[in-house]
Amino acid sequence: MTAAAQVVKPVSLELGGKSPLLVFEDVDLDKAAEWAAFGCFWTNGQICSATSRLIVHESIAAEFLDRLVKWVKNIKISDPLEEGCRLGPVVSGSQYEKVLEFVATAKREGATILCGGARPEIEQHIYTDKFYGLGGAVISQDLERCERVSKAIQAGIVWINCSQPCFTQAPWGGNKRSGFGRELGEWGLNNYLSVKQVTQYISDEPWGWYNCPSKL
């Protein structure tokens, strides 16, 4: 942005976020848990809009977390070329170490690890963020509540009763530190266009703003 500002060059930025998923008490727990898992672990969680915060109604929180752990433990982790693989390796050893450090930081700050969190010995089976606003999701059977909450989430993308589906015809981008401008759809093309005003005067009469000297 600094380099672009020096030459007044327009930029479109999509910078990631801390996307929440809100789960209300009237949900189908399995559907909600599957979408939560997909939101977290699709593309190994290495996606700008990945679900990174779960906000669950307190009346179902314990049961939902138990169900979510079961879904996560059921994810097939293997070679990406293997049939049925749903979670492969991260891109490098250094990235793996970075992930472990994130886990360690979470533990130091009081997080409880419900599943995984360390290298396996044999096999490894509040919703508006102050700084970021890329994506968010809400799950509830009450569509009026979903609409109300989706309007309140300050993000460029909101999913209702799902998480992470994206389509080339729909705009993609965020607010706040998650960037500005949009990719995809006609909105993405707008980043490469500039608006021009062209005015043509078609009257035979003079503009008439000033008194014509010949008529004084």
**Which of 14, 34, 101, 186 is labelled catalytic?**
14
Active site residue 34: no
Dist. CA 34–CA 128, nearest whole Å: 23
Dist. CA 98–CA 23, nearest whole Å: 29
Q: Which residues are catalytic?
A: 14
